[in-house]
Chains A and B, each alone.
Chain A
Amino acid sequence: MAKSKSTQKPVEELTYEEALAELESVVDTLESEQNPLEDSMKLYERGQALVARCGELLEAAQLKVQKLAGESAAPFEEELE
């Protein structure tokens, strides 16, 4: 736990995968480990923020399509029907 505290990024900077992985570990910790109540409260608050972050990202998700040209990928404009 001390470890995750020192490396904790603000949730706004997390990708969906990062947020989800951290959420998973927060829930696991809360469910399985005995921590001081204050630490648990902090974990819980962090977990809530992570849930919100994941929810936002899912809501806002839009498929990004890029096209390879040589070695680099550029945004791909789909032709509309």
Chain B
Amino acid sequence: MQPTLFSTLHLTVSQITFHIRKMLENDPQLQDVWVEGEISNLSKPNSGHIYFTLKDKNASLRCVMWKADATRLRINIRDGMSIEAHGKIAVYEPQGQYQLIVNSIQPKGEGALYQEFLRLKTMLQAEGIFDEERKRAIPELPRVIGIVTSETGAALRDMLNTLRRRLPLARVILAPSPVQGVDAPPALVKALAALNKQQPDVILLARGGGSIEDLWAFNDERVVRAVADSNAPVICGVGHETDFTLCDFAADLRAPTPTAAAELATPTTLNDLQESLSDFDARLSSSMLNLVADEKSSLAALVSRLKYVSPERQIQSSYQRLDELSRRALSALTHRIALQSKHVDGISKKLQALNPEAILSRGYAIITRNEDGAVVSKIIQAQGKMKARLSDGEFDIIRDS
């Protein structure tokens, strides 16, 4: 085709690059895509970003993984590795290149496993196997704790250490089973069944961390059903915090790690038991002290009632009455004496009025004969020596005529 000066589009490089960028970045399919291929030209500069090219037989695609996503990578990628990369298509304008901005990478094949995981999950969910109503409570203080895990794994050691620290009172029954590989699912099912016959209070189903393939036995339909059918409540602690298996959903409780599973299986610890024991001890003592105090006070009440009715009290009361009478007698007597004394005073005054001495003080005299002491009231009687008594004394007198 001949170029024509009258073409409708006439753009700068920047403008057309911007246009292409808008086209690609506005396509939702290209903004959320899995791309499968082989890694080449892998470069990990100090910036922390990762650059590589994804290739297959006929094409190649430049890829960038920014530092924030690169630090979350759980697999060690290298040249030649077949992977599935998830991300969005973007355009790097200075180079005029389109590229995949990768935010997560998984080994090839995981995508298919994940699809299977989703299919099984949907199916079992529809059956109600994961229903919340099915979940049983974990006992507060288990006596027998069953463990299904590998006999040689670090998970078992971690769980036993945790149980030993938190609740050494418990008995542990281990039902060993391989936890990965084709033999694992039937062995896990058998271990769960054998353990249930021992009637443990709770079962820990656990495995340490690993890749999604390593953990796959815990997504096996047979194992998931065995967990759901277990008589004893099951705590599932498989892999790490971020790993979810179907057993986690079927279990009565999901723990992020085996150690956490052991912790969740022992809600009450030795410490708690010791605390509640001292609590009981204190209640025991105080109830006894209260009891004794109650007895003492009812005894005291009886004693006071007894005192009230005792002969001692009657005797005291008689004494009191006696005292009262004697006090009244005394007071009556005193009164009488006072009256009498007043009476005597009156008589004494009258007597005083009759006293001849009073007449003497008015100028009279009493003359008595010395001879016989007779009062001389007539001249004929005046003989011999006599005494004249005046108000202030007496003197001798003789008749001389």
Contacts and interface: CB of A to CB of B under 8 A. Distances in A.
B174 A16 contact: no
Contact of B284 (A44, A61, A63): A44
Interface string A6-19: 00000000001100
Contact of B198 (A20, A64, A68, A81): A68
A47 B280 CA distance: 9
A45 to B, nearest CB: 10
B225 interface: no
Nearest to A72: B198
Interface string B186-209: 000001001101100000000000
A70 B167 CA distance: 27
Contacts, number: 92
Contacts of B287: 27, 30-31, 44
B78 interface: no
B291 A61 contact: no
B38 to A, nearest CB: 41
Contacts of B270: 58, 61
A10 B52 CA distance: 76
Nearest to B169: A61
Interface string B164-186: 10011111111110000000000
A1 interface: no
Nearest to A55: B277
B284 A65 contact: no
Query: Size band of the B side of the interface?
Result: 35 or more
B213 interface: no
A44 B280 CA distance: 12
Given A24-B280, A55-B277, A68-B198, A63 B288 contact: no
A71 to B, nearest CB: 7
A16 B274 CA distance: 12
Contacts of B365: none
Interface in B154-169: 157, 160, 163-164, 167-169
Contact of A30 (B141, B160, B291): B291
8 nearest A-B pairs in the assembled complex, by CB-CB distance: A30-B287, A61-B168, A63-B164, A61-B169, A47-B284, A65-B172, A68-B175, A64-B171
Interface of B: 141, 143, 151-152, 157, 160, 163-164, 167-176, 191, 194-195, 197-198, 270, 273-274, 277, 280-281, 283-284, 287-288, 291, 295
20 contacts: A23-B280, A24-B280, A26-B284, A30-B287, A30-B291, A37-B295, A40-B288, A44-B288, A44-B291, A55-B277, A58-B270, A65-B160, A65-B172, A66-B174, A67-B174, A68-B175, A68-B176, A68-B198, A76-B172, A76-B174
